[in-house]
Amino acid sequence: MDKSLARSQGLWEERWHPLREEWVVIAAHRQHRPWSGAMVAASSPTAPAYVADCYLCPGNARVGGAANPRYEGPYVFTNDHPCVGPEAPEVPTLPPSPYRVRRADGLARVLCYSPKHNLSMAEMSDEMICDIVGVWRQQTAELGARAEVQHVLCFENKGEVVGVSNPHPHGQIYATNFVFKTIEQELLASRRYLNETGRTLFTDIIAAEQAEGRRILYEDEHVIAFVPYFARYAYEVYVTPKRTVPHIFALRDEETQALARALKMVTVRFDNLWRMSFPYVMALHQAPTDGGDYRTFHFFLAFHPPLRQPDVLKYLAGPEIGGGNFISDTSPEAKAAELLAVSTTHYREWRNEHDSKRA
Ligand SMILES: [Zn+2]
């Protein structure tokens, strides 16, 4: 392909991911290539607010036999199928070197966002989202203070395409005896950047986004949300306080409220994009809780949506799984423009407005 033709058909370059210290190949010039792969079925239009056999709804029995209380706000309980936990068995035999093994110590909890089975973050009020942020703060502080816990990972897997069988909006909290690899990598990158430049990496990322401006989805005095320049997923979005704090519990009240507003704005835009409940993996990037000095680590949330089109998944394949670097078929600027073009009122409320007008 000659170079002018490639340019006319879209972005084709490599962008440096400063937090992961790796290249992302942006190959958006070939995004119109014919697709004959799997289709993801659209999710059912409306679920009821309460489902009798849902193990997360208030008052219902869970698999372990315990019953949920009739909770009214966010509700946290210990995962009935924990990946790490105090019940993990002692390791019976040690493997030969270089192999290592140890007990799967830690705590795994589930966070129901609200008693309503059909209320995702996108349709919650700012106040309800603020309550969820409050739980992340409280859980990170409580679990992080435990001697065996090195790091607290709060996250949400949303949608069947990321393997969630129960649609009741909920997140998870893993308090582990190790620090997750992504956080370790970000710590190393931030330290290296500070040593080389004397500046905080994430502060400079925010400044670079502000300088260009076109990938910013939301901004106020305290927080900013944007599709990063180096996005690996088509609709990847970072939501972050502007002030550098290593953990979510260090946020001030006004920053917590601003964060809730930004989360609302981002999730509404996601749902409005294709008028469907938008699937994603969302994770809080927080510093370890092992007592180290992490004053230069900048807390943020990252959304990683798996869909490139309403029914087309981004597959992790040779380059991503085999090689460890991402090939992105989309331009971050074009995807940010799509998200900016949609309404900031959730589409289900449009229908209600239309209905009420008809009535
Ligand atoms: Zn439920």
Please provide the DSSP assignment of 45-86 as one string.
Answer: S---S--TT-TTSTTPBPTTS-B-----S-EEEE-SS-SS-T
Q: Residue 350 has what pLDDT? A: 84
Distance in angstroms (rounded) separating the CA atoms of residues 282 and 162: 11
Active site positions, annotated: 170
Q: What is the pTM of this model?
A: 0.93
Half-sphere exposure (Cβ direction) of 222: Cα atoms closer than 13 Å: 14
Residues with CB under 5 A from ligand 1 (ion): 51, 54, 56-57, 117, 168
Distance in angstroms (rounded) separating the CA atoms of residues 128 and 119: 10
> How far, CA to CA in Å, does 160 sit from each of 105, 168, 280?
29, 12, 10
Distance in angstroms (rounded) separating the CA atoms of residues 66 and 60: 9
In this structure, are strands 12-17 and 312-313 parallel, antiparallel, or unpaired? unpaired
| Torsion sign, CA atoms 272, 273, 278, 284 | negative
The CA 83 to ligand 1 mean position distance, Å, reads 22
The CA 13 to ligand 1 mean position distance, Å, reads 45
State the helix-helix crossing angle for 332-341 and 253-274, rounded to 10 degrees.
Answer: 90
The CA 222 to ligand 1 mean position distance, Å, reads 34
Q: With contact defined as beta carbons under 8 Å apart, do 14 and 25 qualify?
A: yes
Half-sphere exposure (Cβ direction) of 295: Cα atoms closer than 13 Å: 2
Burial 177-193 (b: 16+ CB within 10 A, else e): bbbbeebeebbebbeeb
The CA 121 to ligand 1 mean position distance, Å, reads 14
Distance in angstroms (rounded) separating the CA atoms of residues 47 and 123: 13
The CA 67 to ligand 1 mean position distance, Å, reads 13
Distance in angstroms (rounded) separating the CA atoms of residues 53 and 62: 9
Residue 265 burial by Cβ neighbours in a 10 Å radius (0-12, 13-18, 19+)? buried
Eight-class DSSP state of 342: S
Q: Residue 40 has what pLDDT? A: 60
The CA 73 to ligand 1 mean position distance, Å, reads 13
pLDDT tens-place values along the chain, 359 residues long: 455 544 545 899 999 999 999 999 999 987 665 555 565 655 556 789 999 999 999 999 998 889 999 999 999 999 999 999 999 999 989 999 999 999 999 999 999 999 999 999 999 999 999 999 999 999 999 999 999 999 999 999 999 999 898 999 999 999 999 999 999 999 999 999 999 999 999 999 999 999 999 999 999 999 999 999 999 999 999 999 999 999 999 999 999 999 999 999 999 999 999 999 999 999 999 999 999 999 999 999 999 999 998 888 899 999 999 999 999 999 999 999 999 999 999 999 986 655 555 43
Residue 273, amino acid: L
The CA 54 to ligand 1 mean position distance, Å, reads 5
The CA 167 to ligand 1 mean position distance, Å, reads 7
Q: Residue 358 has what pLDDT? A: 46
The CA 41 to ligand 1 mean position distance, Å, reads 21
Residue 294, amino acid: Y
